[in-house]
């Protein structure tokens, strides 16, 4: 996400930080580059102008330019102003005092609305809610099939009526089913079009009037850029929205829509889609997103993902092995499986402060998970004794492992070298010393 923008902003700020003192001209020259980077990232030009003017007004003061670390002060100001543009504070879902709470999903065709309904339902289920999804998109038969398939996969009830012609009746019957099941949330998936038209808005307005949703969220395709903003404004004017969900952010290296849409429409972004996997939907936090864009990482989200993924007993067992320097290739493989659950390697590195640039250098193989599959194949081709004592792997063993895993002896050797580096690093950590070069593992 925001790859090009993040790289350019990081370059500007590194020049600020390399200077002991900054002049007003230094700030102006840097902000010209920031402005150009934002426009190239497809950020709305009014938002860009306002952002740069606000940053400049705060940066050229005497207190900043004559401070001990003016570069760090400017980065802090940019982070605050970017957080403000993204929405300033996190916006949670509102629920009714008496369940079930109705949430209506709207959006153009192709935005990922039906998949998002399932992702959001899973998110709610993990938070302890009972959810019912309602297939009220009657114009696209495949939408009903898709929602039912996802519902079975996630073990979440889906209400549908293939014989119905009135989406309002389907939505109301779905709410009645949710009440009978004592559900806390009802997610109504509605029909979309390739573009906004009067018939679609009339249908959505009718569904909204009969279901009285507490939340009306528009699912926006982040890759459509400024068109997403125009669509959101059109939906908000016609039916009234309470928030936005931006999908496909992982496929958008520019990110202009995400940076502009909340500020232009005055609607909060409540969730973002970060991948194709069914659990790749996360609550939107403006301050955390600003940190990611500026290359400062997102440690809080990383911790939350780790807490969801890692078993406490496994974590304690791993910690004991690290302290005793007993970390084996079997443990290494187990950690890879845990990391896969958290997301792609690129996504994880973007959340670690200072590591976002490393994710840019990873090969496509590493980014899409094939690199991890190769490691897995190599380790599985070893005997239990070899996994626990990799130092015994010499020429003939290395060749046998390569043949068994469909790789080359060079690949096997590279993995063993990486593992040795990891063992050395863990010994340093367990003895209280910080490794000098953490990036060696990712070369």
DSSP secondary structure letters along 342-361: H--HHHHHHTSTT-HHHHHH
The set of residues, in sequence order, having a beta carbon less than 8 Å from that of 201 and lying 6+ positions away, is 235, 238, 239
Q: Do 288 and 307 lie in a common domain?
A: no
Q: Do 178 and 289 lie in a common domain?
A: yes
Taking the C-alpha atoms of residue 235 and residue 216, their distance in angstroms, rounded to an integer, is: 10
Q: Do 266 and 334 lie in a common domain?
A: no
**Domain at 157, CATH number:** 3.40.50.300
Q: Do 24 and 168 lie in a common domain?
A: no
Q: Is residue 327 included in any domain, yes or no? A: yes
What total of structural domains would you count in the chain?
3
Residue range(s) defining the domain that contains residue 199: 101-296
What are the backbone dihedrals phi and psi of residue 12, each rounded to the nearest 5 degrees, phi first? -65, -45
Q: Is residue 92 included in any domain, yes or no? A: no
Q: Is residue 95 included in any domain, yes or no? A: no
H or E stretch at 16: helix 3-18
Spatial contact of 236 and 267, defined as CB atoms under 8 Å apart: yes
Q: Do 378 and 437 lie in a common domain?
A: yes
Q: Is residue 292 included in any domain, yes or no? A: yes
Q: Is residue 376 included in any domain, yes or no? A: yes
Residue where a domain terminates, one of 60, 86, 112: 86
Q: Do 41 and 128 lie in a common domain?
A: no
Please list the pLDDT of the chain residue by residue as tens digits (443 residues).
577 788 888 888 888 777 777 788 888 888 999 999 888 888 888 999 999 999 988 888 766 767 767 777 888 888 899 899 988 888 889 998 889 999 999 999 888 899 999 999 999 999 999 999 999 998 877 899 999 999 999 999 999 998 888 999 999 999 999 999 999 999 999 988 777 788 888 999 999 999 999 999 999 988 887 888 999 999 999 999 999 999 988 766 566 778 889 999 999 999 998 888 888 898 998 888 888 787 765 556 666 666 666 666 666 666 666 566 667 887 777 766 776 666 666 666 565 555 455 455 555 555 555 667 888 899 999 999 998 888 899 989 999 999 999 999 999 998 888 788 777 766 665 555 444 443 333 33
Q: Do 271 and 379 lie in a common domain?
A: no
pLDDT in tens, 13-66: 888 777 777 788 888 888 999 999 888 888 888 999 999 999 988 888 766 767
pLDDT in tens, 171-185: 999 999 999 999 999
What is the model's pTM?
Answer: 0.72
Q: Do 68 and 130 lie in a common domain?
A: no
**Domain at 15, CATH number:** 1.20.120.140
Residue where a domain terminates, one of 296, 319, 351: 296
Q: Do 113 and 257 lie in a common domain?
A: yes
Q: Do 78 and 113 lie in a common domain?
A: no
């Amino acid at each position: 996400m925001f790859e090009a923008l993040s790289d350019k902003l990081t370059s500007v700020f590194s020049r600020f930080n390399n200077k002991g003192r900054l002049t007003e001209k230094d700030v102006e020259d840097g902000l010209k580059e920031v402005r150009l980077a934002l426009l190239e990232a497809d950020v709305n030009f009014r938002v860009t102008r306002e952002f740069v003017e606000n940053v400049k007004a705060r940066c050229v003061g005497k207190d900043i330019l004559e401070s001990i670390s003016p570069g760090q002060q400017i980065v802090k100001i940019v982070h605050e102003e970017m957080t403000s543009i993204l929405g300033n504070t996190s916006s949670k879902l509102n629920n009714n005092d008496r369940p079930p709470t109705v949430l209506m999903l709207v959006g153009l065709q192709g935005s990922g609305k039906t998949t998002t309904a399932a992702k959001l339902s899973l998110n709610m289920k993990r938070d302890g809610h009972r959810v019912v999804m309602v297939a009220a998109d009657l114009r696209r038969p495949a939408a009903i099939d898709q929602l039912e398939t996802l519902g079975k996969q996630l073990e979440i009830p889906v209400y549908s009526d293939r014989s119905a012609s009135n989406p309002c009746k389907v939505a109301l019957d779905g709410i009645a089913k949710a009440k009978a099941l004592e559900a806390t949330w009802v997610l109504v998936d509605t029909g979309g079009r390739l573009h906004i038209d009067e018939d679609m808005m009339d249908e959505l307005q009718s569904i909204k009037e009969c279901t009285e949703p507490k939340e009306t969220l528009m699912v926006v395709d982040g890759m459509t850029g400024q068109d997403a903003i125009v669509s959101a404004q059109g939906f908000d004017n016609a039916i009234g929205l309470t928030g936005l969900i931006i999908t496909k952010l992982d496929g958008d290296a520019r990110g202009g829509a995400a940076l502009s849409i909340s500020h232009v429409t005055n609607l909060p972004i409540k969730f973002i889609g970060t991948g194709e996997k069914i659990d790749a939907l996360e609550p939107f936090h403006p301050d955390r997103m600003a940190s990611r864009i500026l290359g400062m990482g997102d440690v809080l989200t990383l911790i939350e993902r780790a807490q969801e993924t890692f078993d406490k007993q496994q974590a304690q067992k791993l910690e004991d092995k690290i302290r005793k320097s007993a970390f084996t290739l079997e443990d290494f493989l187990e950690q890879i499986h845990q990391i896969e659950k958290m997301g792609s390697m690129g996504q994880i590195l973007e959340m670690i402060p200072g590591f976002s640039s490393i994710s840019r250098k990873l090969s496509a193989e590493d980014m899409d998970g094939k690199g991890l599959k190769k490691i897995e194949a190599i380790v599985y081709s070893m005997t239990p004794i070899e996994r626990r004592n990799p130092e015994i792997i010499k020429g003939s063993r290395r060749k046998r492992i390569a043949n068994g895993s469909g790789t080359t002896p060079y690949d096997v050797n590279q993995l063993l070298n990486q593992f040795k580096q990891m063992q050395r690093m863990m010994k340093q950590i367990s003895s209280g010393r910080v490794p000098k070069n953490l990036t060696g593992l990712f070369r």
